[in-house]
Chains A and B, each alone.
Chain A
Amino acid sequence: MKQQRKVALPRYGEYNCVLKYIVEQGFEAQCILPPPLSRRTEELGARNSPDLVCTPFKTTLGSMIEALEAGADTIIMVHGACRLNYFGELQEQILRDLGYSFEFINLSLYNTGKIKDILRALKVINPRCNMVKAGRAVYDAVKMVEHLDDTTSMYYQNCGFDPTGTYPKIYRKFISDMYAARSLADIQEGYRNANHAFADVVLEKNPDPIRIGIIGDYYTVMDPFSNLEIEQKLADMGVEVHRLMNITNDMLRNSEKNKQIIIRRFSEYSMGASSTTDIWQAQNFAERGFDGLIQVKSAFCMPETDIMPVLANLSREYSIPVLYLTYDSQTSDVGLMTRLEAFFDMLEMRKKVAP
């Protein structure tokens, strides 16, 4: 029998557990987890990338190299609505030039929006697999994504108000449960356990806490390593942190057309990638009376740069402060802390005098 493939996706927040599930339960292959992102990942990526490409390109390239070092023989790369569509092709070429030999599954070549084409792409993992089984695993994985996103947003909204310090433990346990899940029942049980454990913690939250909405480009806003753990830092200051940008909201339940109509007052046409979604999210947060918005973006991200004037208009209209943050391969978070602390102080003082 032919040997099992060793499949890897570059690190992307905690979403690697989803691929692990699909690969192992659906395609009966092995999933290689690249090591957690670190400064080394960034250095590897930056050294082998074009200088002015956005940081997610560099980080994912570095993570691919670390996956190959860890023994992966098949790399999967996702696609998106910006330059991300070309990332896979260029990254494959760079890796081949570096001398690695591997199979590359570039999902942007199968980008038709139909599930059967995605399955066709994934079939490379194991051509003899049972497609019914694979399809079922993808269905379970969708549930896993929903539970992961739900638990993550629950966590960041509340962990800043947990006097016992058990929230992080519950969250870590949940994440490791998702990595270990072998069936839909495991996924559901891990989710239920986390929810019950969260419910058992008595939070010390005043009725009107500072609420900050975070928006930004697909990768930087969702990947804690890339955004220097901005959500945790804010939560630790005692902020209710909300982030609508996740795979559930943006891919599974997205309605780009409706969003474009809702935000037409601020922006009539899409500026690509996360732009429409981000403006919609900003408007949604503002209408719900949030205290502040933070835009998290990678340096050289065009769509996120383009929406800044729109966010400025929105900020004026709803009188909601916006903090714009640009991330490159920084090694120190001192500058970030200065800005976050100042933003927090400002929101707190505004709240005190607000009628």
Chain B
Amino acid sequence: MSTQNAFLGIDVGSISTKAVIIDEHNTILAQEYIWTEGNPIGAVKKLLGLLEKQLDRDTWQIVGVGATGSARRLVGSIVGATVVKNEITAHAVGTTTFHPDVRTILEIGGQDSKIILVENGIAVDYAMNTLCAAGTGAFLSSQARRLGIDVEEMGQYALQSAHPTMIAARCTVFAESDLVHKIQMGHPREDIIAGVCRAVASNYINNVGKGKKICSPVVFQGGVSKNVGVVRAFEDLLQCPVIVDENGHLMGAMGAAILAKRGLKRTVFDFSVEKMDFVTRERNCGGCSNNCEVICVYRDGSLIDFWGNRCERGAVH
């Protein structure tokens, strides 16, 4: 029996690395979600190992690979991606495929947050936090650590609270001092946690969502969408139901896989990169006072890609 086409999508974020394998009809054949732990190359290799075990390789053959997320360039060149796309487009494509009627996509990841407005299945406007990472997953993680709980438990704690503590939401630094102050004043832990969740949601609405008309249906995704406390806070603030897809954390990877499927390029991907040795080296060009940091990627000792140079002087051969 001949094999059928499958597509791999990889989304390497600052905190977590996600991947899915889908068939021609966008059915998920394999999926995985692991922590990046500051090592995107290691994470991708590990992830591919996990996916390989889930996939029946006698039936399916991966013919297209899409890479997205903040490490898309690096990962794209390692796995030989057929499509390398930014995470905003990937999220929009992934979400509109599974929720064709969606009007607003809220997305909060490890260190960035974005809002995408959709009309008739097409993204028509978007915004992304620029200078400041206030109100993102990284803030929740550090506050969970301060309170001595796992970030995954925060949502359940928050739901137990009847009187969320008011916490200044404008800026993460101020929010943190406010939070410490409230802890020392003796506010109960679940109220503090509910307050933190509320702060994340209102910070988002006031910052990234500023001036945007948020219409229902609203889909919330990204790592933070797994926190029911924040979901509840959004529902209170927006006065409408907020949909969290069970695969919401995979939407970027789904989008990347779908884009690989839509793309014209076809290359068979055989998981052999798992066994290869990848090294990145930074080299300062020194050709002029910009002193660009050029990143070089080597596969088993030979250069496969480089970037970071602003002009030809920084090219590496």
Contact = CB atoms under 8 A, between A and B. Distances in A.
B272 interface: no
A39 B124 contact: no
B174 to A, nearest CB: 16
Interface of B: 70, 73, 85-89, 92, 120, 122-128, 130-131, 210-213, 288-291
16 contacts: A39-B289, A40-B289, A315-B125, A321-B124, A321-B126, A322-B125, A323-B127, A324-B127, A325-B130, A334-B73, A341-B89, A345-B86, A349-B123, A350-B123, A350-B124, A353-B120
Interface string A331-355: 0001101110111011001100100
A35 B289 contact: yes
Contact of A321 (B86, B92, B125, B288): B125
A309 B70 CA distance: 29
A299 interface: yes
A323 B127 CA distance: 7
Contacts of A328: 131
Given A308-B211, A338-B87, A338-B88, A349 B122 contact: yes
Contact of B126 (A308, A326, A335, A342): A342
A326 B122 contact: no
A346 B123 contact: yes
A112 B120 CA distance: 54
A346 B89 contact: yes
A119 interface: no
Contact of B124 (A35, A40, A342, A346): A346
Contact of B131 (A299, A343, A346, A353): A299
A312 interface: yes
A38 B130 CA distance: 22
Contacts of B86: 337-339, 341-342, 345
Contacts of A35: 289
B128 A339 contact: yes
Interface in A104-140: none
B35 to A, nearest CB: 21
A316 interface: yes
B89 A345 contact: yes
A350 B126 CA distance: 12
A155 B211 CA distance: 34
B193 to A, nearest CB: 30
Contacts of B127: 323-324
Contacts of B122: 349-350, 353
Given A319-B124, A338-B128, A346-B92, 12 more contacts: A38-B290, A308-B211, A312-B211, A321-B125, A323-B127, A325-B130, A326-B130, A338-B88, A339-B86, A345-B85, A349-B122, A350-B122
A342 B120 contact: no
9 residue pairs, one from A and one from B, having the closest CB atoms: A312-B211, A342-B88, A38-B289, A345-B89, A341-B86, A321-B125, A338-B86, A326-B130, A40-B289
Nearest to B212: A312
Contacts of A353: 120, 122
A81 B128 CA distance: 30
Nearest to A315: B125
Contacts of A316: 213
Contact of B288 (A38, A334, A339, A342): A38
Contacts of B85: 341, 345
A181 B212 CA distance: 50
Nearest to A299: B131
Interface string A299-320: 1000000001100100110010
Nearest to B116: A346
Contacts of B288: 38
Contacts of A322: 125
B125 A324 contact: no
Nearest to B292: A39
A103 to B, nearest CB: 27
Given A312-B211, A346-B124, A350-B122, A39 B290 contact: yes
Given A308-B211, A309-B211, A346 B126 contact: yes
Contacts of A334: 70, 73
A190 B127 CA distance: 42
B207 to A, nearest CB: 11
Nearest to A330: B131
B208 to A, nearest CB: 10
B101 to A, nearest CB: 15
A342 B89 contact: yes
Contacts of A40: 289
A177 to B, nearest CB: 22
Contacts of A312: 210-212
A339 B34 CA distance: 25
Central interface residue in A41, A316, A325, A343, by most chain B CB within 10 Å: A343
A323 B212 CA distance: 12
Contacts of B125: 315, 321-322, 346
